[in-house]
Structures are given as C-alpha cells and as structure tokens.
Chains A and B, each alone.
Chain A
Amino acid sequence: MTYLPRMAFKNLARYKKRTLITASAISFGLMMFIVIRSLLIGIDTESEINLRLYETASGRIMVPGYWDERENAPLEKSFNPSSVQEVLKDSGAAFAPRISFAGDLIFYKDPFPEDGDLPGFFTAVDPVSDGEVFNLPDGIVEGRWLKEGDYGLVIGHWLAEDIGAEVGSTVLVETETIDGFPQLFDLEIVGIINCPNPEVTRSGMYLPLSVADEFLEMNGAVTEVNVNFGRDKRADAAFDRLVPQIEKLGLEALNWEILGADFIAISEAKSGGTGMIIMLILIIAGVGISNTMLMAVYERVRELGMMRALGMKDIQIWAMFLWESAGIGLLGGFIGVGLGALVNWPLAKYGIDYSFLLRESSFGYRIQGQMYGVWDVQSILTAFLLGVGLAVFVALFSTHRVLRLDIPASLRFQ
C-alpha cells in the first residue's frame, strides 16, 4: 500500500502553489493559536503568582462572615491571633497577622502639590513576619520597608504619583477605632512600593501593625492572619488540610482561589472567550483549506474516475486524499509551529508593555505592565495536531463529494 502515500506526496509536489497556499492558511491559524494561548496562559500564570505573592498567600484566616463584609472592613470582626498560632506553627506554614481598615488619607499642599483627601483601605502589617508571607518588601523602589514601631506608611507607586507623594512627606489618616470613635493620626511616608501586582501599586497603603493596634484600640486583635505554604499544588493541599482545624477554633480559613475570586472569574470567562477566538480562527482556516481542497479534488475528478474504473476502491481513494491532506496538515503544522515559536520568542523573552492600558484598570488580572508569553508545549502540540486534524477533516468532506459522482460522470467531468 506504499503507492498511495507515494502518489499523495507526488500530488502535493505537483500542485506546489496550492499546497503552499493551503499550508499557509493552516500555519497562520496555528501561529495565532500558539501566540494567543501563550499570552493568555502567560497572563494567567503571572497573575496567579502575583496574586499569591502580594495579596492572598496560600490563604487567610478570618472571623466567619468577615470576608462577606470586607467592603466595610468591620474591625469588630477581629480575633486574637494567638488563638491560631499553635495550629499554624504545627503546620509549618509562615503566617502574618494583619489589620485591614477603611479610612481617609489626608494630605496638604506643600509638600504635596495640592490639598487632598483620598478614601481607601489601609493594611497594617507586622514588618517582620509579613515579609515571610508576602513579597512586599522586595517591591520598595524609594525609601525603605516598615520598621516595628515607626509611625511610617508605605504606599503604592501609582498612588504616590497620583497624589504627588514623596518619601519623607507626612500624611494624616482619618478613621474610626474599633469602638467607632473618630481617630486621626499622622504618618510619615517612609517607602514607595512598585511591585508586579497592580492592586498594590495602584492603591496599597501599609503601616506597622503596632501603630494600627494603638490608634484603632485593637488590644492585640487582628482582622486576618495570612498563611503561606508556598505556591504549588502541595501547598494548596496543606492549606486545605488546615481548614477544619481552623474551623474548630471558630474561625474561617479561605484559600487563595476564594480570595482571588475576581481574578478566577475573569480567568474562567476568558477561557470561554479564548475558546471562541480559537474556534473562529480554526473556522477561518478551515474554510480556506476546505476551498483549496475542494479545488484540488474537483480538478482531478476525471483522474479519480479513471482510478476507480481501474478498480481502485472508495476506501483507497479516501486513503489517498487523507495522505495528501495529512501531508498538507503536517507541512502547515510545521510552518505554523515554527512561525508561532518565532513570534512567541520575543513575547516570552521581552513581553509586551501594556502598562498604559493596565494603570487605570487591570480587568481583574494581577499584572502591571509587561505581559509575557510562555512556552506551553501542550498548546504547541495541540496546534500541530489541530492543523493535521483540520486538513484531514476538510479532505474527508471534499472527497465525499467527489465519490458521490458515478464513474462515467467522473470520466466525462470537465
């Protein structure tokens, strides 16, 4: 049966132009598939890393119901972190208590360009243990990270730019104590942070836990304890094992996927959107291939009629065209993967700077500026197989149409 593939490849060589045009349609589709998948997987991967490094860690322990009311940052839903310390130490996790509270950041002209009042959420952190759970200290671009007991504030880089803040400037924080009494205190901006997570850079305001404890009259209570087991599947499993132990203490432990639900939702919605885009690309490529394959088949109706007259069975005709289409698919697959790799290389190495777009809104993604592609072997293999599969599929359709003609009609075909 080797004559069938031999003939198929001779036919491919005979119609060089058409073979190349069809393979190009496939390769363009596959290149787009590889590049789009690379960028989207890259965004997802990078977002997940940045979410966990700067916002959620492996998960968070809170008073039940706090997460649902987080928009109000209710200080009364706080707890003493010593109640979970033993369990967390036994688990081997790094952990860091925090107080989140709502308040106004007030600043005045000189040193600021103008007077202002900015409502927002403040995060009080333990300067030492927080660095073991989150990567915030590594993001300091001006000044320094917080020290225990200093009346300092670290703010995000974009926020600092927006209000014209500089290291050394003093701001006022207006808020309420845990008992609802007004509170006003001043802090010196000691550091400006610029990290890959846009939520931090856009609106992050961090002060020492001891300072918040003092001014909010928390008496050692915190609103959350963040837990870090690492970033792999085993870490997730370790956190999940912790959940029932925390619940026994009357608290709630939520993992990073729940805490980052906005990102997860966007990511899942995007997967659907991506599927649509990829489907569209494949349909366009499929129509192109289908057209050229139909032309290829119809140009050879008489030849096929003769082959059938000589005793070639339908299944052999199918096989011959499948060889041909698989050849085109392979060629398109190789070119497409090659082109995809060529375009993906700078995307993976240098990325694309989308900071101009992401500063105002990052659409739930936790990437700040550079979008990087990734080398996703599964996508490349899928693209390759899709190319071959697509070519074979449209060849089946075209061949079926020709085989519907009877042999005398095929022999008369002009």
Chain B
Amino acid sequence: MIAIKGLYKTYTAGDTEVKALRGVSLDIGKGEFLSIAGPSGSGKTTLLNIIGCIDSADSGEIVISGESVMDYSRNRQAAFRRDHLGFVFQSYNLIPVLTAFENVAFSLNLMGVDEKEVAERTEKMLKEVGLEGMEHRRPSKLSGGQQQRVAIARALVKNPQIVLADEPTANLDSGTGKEVLDLMKEMNDRYGCTFVFSTHDSMVMDYASRLVMLHDGEIQSDERR
C-alpha cells in the first residue's frame, strides 16, 4: 500500500540544520491502523506530511498504491490528496463559516461529486460519526470532540485509501480522545482504509495495531500487535 524507502529530510532554521528524517524506510499495508509515535521533534509529523504529499523529502522514495508520488507536480499532488487521502488535524481545522454538513461536503465538492450524491454521502457519514441532528451547527457551536468527529467524517466521506491523522487527540480530554479513537478504529474496521496517525500519548499508542517508534528521525522500533 505505502512503501517508504530511505527517506531523508533536513530543515534549516536560521543557521541551524535540523535532520528531521534520517533514512526512514517503512512498508504500510492496506487497512492497517498504524501509529507513528515518538517524542516531540522525532520527525513523526514530517513523516506524516511527506506521506500525505504536503511536504517533500530531500531524498528517498514513497510509493502509494504503486505510484511514486514524490515526483508529482504540485497540481497532481493536490489531485492525489483530494482523491486518495483523508486528513485529520490536531486542531480540527474546520472551516469556521461552514456548518458541520458543509465542512464534510467540502471534500466531495472538491472532487466534483454531484450535489445530490454529496448530500446523501455527507448525511450518512455524519450519522456514522454520531453527529446526526448537528448537521447545521457551525464549528463554534460544537465541542472539541464533536469537531474532531466532523474532521473524521470529512476525511472518510470520500472513501480515501489512507487517512492521515496528526495528533488527533492532542487537543481533547482523555475521555473524548478515547471516543475519537474508538470512532477511528470503528471506521478502520468498517471501511478497511489505512489509518496512519502520529502521537506521543501512550493511551493512543495502545489503540494502534502497529506501533512505529521514531527517535531523532530514525525508526527505533516497529511493533505489530
């Protein structure tokens, strides 16, 4: 599904060079529920961003579903993200002017799905994430957990091959975080799409069926459960 080979990435912050990834290689299979864990600065967000085609590596290769995405143009990468990837962000990143329904529908709008199908799929997805009756609420009228559910619905409504979640529970209390993780796991089981999420929270790590530990840009351990 995802084949990562020898990924290197160095950032320059002023005069300082930060080696974010140092030769990371990883194969992720279809339907995995994989957590990339590690302390702050270990390179997990960088790795997630590169898998998600929103950042580029200095060297190495990423092949997703047989396609080498590193050489894609900016527009083709955007189209790839739109059609095959779902994103869940730590701070939800919902569009404040849109309702829960519209935020979820936004993913399908981008794909050019016709309005009727957008409505059907969006309603179904919001129901599945437990937000039935809250479709017309703006993000400001939803709790953090509910907002993250909207974000998960937005990621899943387009039936992506891969959902990438960067610290999806970091802004939530433990109870709500657990609910969100339960939901993600349920969606992973139901839709069979691959979930890759980063975390430094041990509770979140416990949910993963595979745990990849990063340290200083290198894979320290890769444990299947």
- Listed in ascending order, the chain A residues whose CB lies under 8 Å from chain B are 3, 7, 10-11, 13-14, 302-303, 305-314, 316, 406-408, 411
Contact = CB atoms under 8 A, between A and B. Distances in A.
B182 to A, nearest CB: 24
A3 B81 contact: no
Given A306-B89, A406-B55, A408-B55, A7 B95 contact: yes
A140 to B, nearest CB: 70
Contacts of B52: 309
Contacts of A13: 97
A326 to B, nearest CB: 17
Contact of A408 (B49, B106, B109, B110): B49
Nearest to A10: B97
A313 B107 contact: no
B133 to A, nearest CB: 22
Contact of B78 (A3, A14, A313, A408): A313
A302 B82 CA distance: 18
B10 to A, nearest CB: 14
Contacts of A302: 93
Most buried by A among B81, B85, B105: B81
A306 B93 contact: yes
Contacts of A407: 49, 54-55
Contacts of B175: none
A408 B164 CA distance: 14
15 contacts: A3-B105, A7-B95, A7-B98, A11-B97, A14-B96, A305-B93, A306-B87, A306-B93, A310-B82, A311-B80, A311-B83, A313-B78, A406-B54, A407-B55, A408-B55
Contacts of B116: none
B12 interface: no
Given A308-B78, A408-B55, A411-B89, A7 B97 contact: yes
A299 B3 CA distance: 37
Contacts of A312: 78, 82, 110
B75 interface: yes
Given A3-B109, A408-B54, A408-B55, A309 B81 contact: yes
A310 B109 contact: no
Q: Is the interface of B mostly helix, strand, loop or mixed?
A: helix
Nearest to B48: A408
Interface in B46-91: 49, 52, 54-55, 74-75, 78-83, 85, 87, 89
Contact of B107 (A11, A310, A406): A310
Interface of B: 45, 49, 52, 54-55, 74-75, 78-83, 85, 87, 89, 93, 95-98, 105-107, 109-111, 154
A411 B93 contact: yes
Given A7-B98, A411-B89, A308 B82 contact: no
B75 A314 contact: yes
Given A408-B54, A411-B89, A310 B96 contact: no
A13 B79 CA distance: 30
Nearest to A308: B78
A307 to B, nearest CB: 8
B97 A309 contact: no
Given A313-B78, A314-B75, A411-B89, A308 B97 contact: no
B43 to A, nearest CB: 13
Given A3-B109, A310-B106, A313-B79, A14 B97 contact: yes
Contacts of B97: 7, 10-11, 13-14
Nearest to A11: B97
Contacts of A311: 78-83, 85, 107, 110-111
A403 to B, nearest CB: 10
A414 to B, nearest CB: 11
Given A306-B93, A311-B79, 12 more contacts: A7-B98, A307-B106, A308-B54, A309-B87, A310-B107, A310-B110, A311-B80, A312-B110, A314-B75, A316-B110, A407-B49, A411-B93
B55 A310 contact: no
Contacts of B95: 7, 303, 306-307
Contacts of B98: 7, 10
A402 B27 CA distance: 35
